[in-house]
Amino acid sequence: MNIIRMVDANDMEDIAIGGAVLGTGGGGDPHVGKLMAQQAIRKYGPVKLMDVMELADDALVVPVCMMGAPTVMTEKLPQGDELMNAFRALEAVMGRKIDAVLCGEAGGVNSTTPFVVAASSGLPLIDGDGMGRAYPELQMVTFTLHGVSATPMVLCDDKGNSLVLETVSNAWTERLARAATIEMGGSALLAFYPMSGAVAKKAVVAGTLSLCARIGETLRAARAEHSDPVKALVDLLGAKTLFHGRIMDIERRTEGGFARGKATLTGVEDWRGQTLRLDFQNEFLIAESDGKVLATTPDLIAVVEADSGAPVTTDSLKYGQRLMALAWPCNPLWRTPGGIELVGPRYFKYDHDYVPFE
């Protein structure tokens, strides 16, 4: 088996930072997931990160995730057994052993949750995920574009409830799982999208977990050398700086289990006199300046602290913060007609066509 790297408890610091950058403002603060992963790695040993191409075609691979509103996860932490409960229960439903753990979403808290299961089970973790970023809904994965069903799926909560879903489409899985998640108190943990090694090789956005680690390492190194962390990050990601400004207003509402809202920034330095509006639905989805759309989903829009390059989540936006907005192109799988239909601006009820960000 070709092991890309062994991930120990210290490496989780870098991965959590990288996960927050790919989280594009959402996916939840990885801090809680990082602490859980570190606890599991200290108890069971380091995690083997494996190239997806190394999987046997008939291997069974299962992604695990946390689902719910980001603010809920920073306040109501998991009970602790939910992830392994969901993983083992899905194994029972499938009637066979799972061979490898997969990451559903490399952005936010879910960049770290698969490490808990990989460490606890001793199974390898695939270096890749189903998004290359973060998204608010369960069907928004490249797995869907390849016809993989989200079910059978197991959803577990902190009270010990578990739910097995069999649905007719991934959109239905999202609707039913979302309703259950809200009932469960706004956050739940799940194992879903069971797939073969052969399918995983086509459907996985490869290399995203090691990219998370490199993002963390890059920011850390830039700060240690006193060079510009934002520039180092822009270079690593092939991104562009959209805006530099200060938050003048944040409007939030919680709707159907999502943190929706918009933030308005007023420009400083080269952007003086301009304003930027960021629309978010857990993640930053649209960046618009004075009526002109600068970038939209599925391209990635990340907001970082202007001086340190530290990623800022939509739920930690505060009045007066000085921030920089960056954008870079998404994985090509998202730019297909099917991808745009699944995660383009119109899906999120914004009246814009997708214009690729280059």
Partner 1 sequence: MIRIGIDVGGTNTDAVLMDGKTVLAGVKAPTSPDVMTGVVQALRDVLASAKTTADKVDVVMIGTTHFTNAVVQRRDLAPVAAVRLCLPATASLPPMVDWPEDLRDVLGNHWYLAHGGNEFDGRVISKLDEEELLGIADDIRAKGIKSVAITSVFSPVSSEFEKQAGEILGRALPDTHITLSADIGRIGLLERENAAIMNACLRDLSQHVVEAFRGALADVGFTGRFYLTQNDGTLMDAVFAERFPVLTFASGPTNSMRGAAFLSGVGDAIVVDIGGTTSDVGSLQKGFPRQATVAVEVGGVRTNFRMPDVFSIGLGGGSLVVDGPDGVKVGPRSVGYRIVTEALLFGGSTLTTSDIVVADGGAELGDRAKLAHLDHALIRRARDRIAFMLEDCVERARISADPLPVIVVGGGSILVEGPIAGLELILPNHFAVANAVGAAIAQVSGEVDRVYALAEMTRDAALDDAKRQATEAAVAAGARRETVEIVDVEDVPLAYLPGNATRVRVKAVGELHVG
Say how far apart CA 323 and CA 266 lie, in whole Å.
10
Structure-block tokens of residue 261? 């809202």
> Rule CB under 8 A: is residue 254 a binding residue for partner 1?
yes
Least distance from partner 1 to the Cβ atom of residue 115, Å: 14
Among 5, 35, 88, 274, binds partner 1 (CB under 8 A): 35
In angstroms and rounded to an integer, the radius of gyration of the C-alpha atoms of the chain is: 19
Among 42, 43, 96, 159, binds partner 1 (CB under 8 A): 159
> Rule CB under 8 A: is residue 308 a binding residue for partner 1?
yes
Among 78, 132, 136, 216, binds partner 1 (CB under 8 A): 78
> Rule CB under 8 A: is residue 158 a binding residue for partner 1?
yes
> Rule CB under 8 A: is residue 225 a binding residue for partner 1?
no
350-357's contacts with Cβ under 8 Å and 24+ in sequence apart are 350/279, 350/285, 350/286, 350/296, 352/286, 352/293, 352/296, 354/296, 354/297, 354/298, 355/293, 355/296, 356/299, 356/329, 357/240, 357/294, 357/295, 357/296, 357/299, 357/327, 357/328, 357/329
Among 30, 124, 186, 339, binds partner 1 (CB under 8 A): 186
Say how far apart CA 50 and CA 16 lie, in whole Å.
18
| Number of neighbours of residue 225 by Cβ within 10 angstroms | 10
> Rule CB under 8 A: is residue 31 a binding residue for partner 1?
yes
> Rule CB under 8 A: is residue 32 a binding residue for partner 1?
yes
Q: Look-up: residue for tokens 């239909």?
A: 341
Among 10, 58, 168, 251, binds partner 1 (CB under 8 A): 251
Q: How many residues contact partner 1, by CB under 8 A?
A: 41
Between 8 and 75, whose beta carbon lies closer to partner 1?
Answer: 75
From 45-53, 88-96, 214-222, 248-256, span contacting partner 1 (CB under 8 A): 248-256
Across the beta sheet with 283-289, the strand order is 292-296, 283-289, 275-281, 258-267, 240-255, 322-328, 300-305
Between 32 and 126, whose beta carbon lies closer to partner 1?
Answer: 32
User: Whose CA is closest to 80, among 189, 228, 168, 2?
Assistant: 189
| Number of neighbours of residue 205 by Cβ within 10 angstroms | 23
Between 29 and 127, whose beta carbon lies closer to partner 1?
Answer: 29
> Rule CB under 8 A: is residue 227 a binding residue for partner 1?
no
From 3-11, 98-106, 195-203, 319-327, span contacting partner 1 (CB under 8 A): 319-327
> Rule CB under 8 A: is residue 241 a binding residue for partner 1?
no
DSSP sequence for 189-224: EEE---EEHHHHHHHSEETHHHHHHHHHHHHHHHHH
From 64-72, 119-127, 131-139, 204-212, span contacting partner 1 (CB under 8 A): 64-72
Least distance from partner 1 to the Cβ atom of residue 225, Å: 11
Among 323, 324, 325, 330, binds partner 1 (CB under 8 A): 323
Report the SS3 class of residue 258: strand
Least distance from partner 1 to the Cβ atom of residue 265, Å: 13
DSSP secondary structure letter of residue 136: S
- Cα–chain center distance at 318: 22
Say how far apart CA 328 and CA 236 lie, in whole Å.
11
> Rule CB under 8 A: is residue 270 a binding residue for partner 1?
no
Binding residues vs partner 1 (CB under 8 A): 31-32, 35-36, 39, 69, 71-72, 74-80, 158-160, 185-186, 226, 249-254, 269, 305-308, 310, 312, 316, 318-323
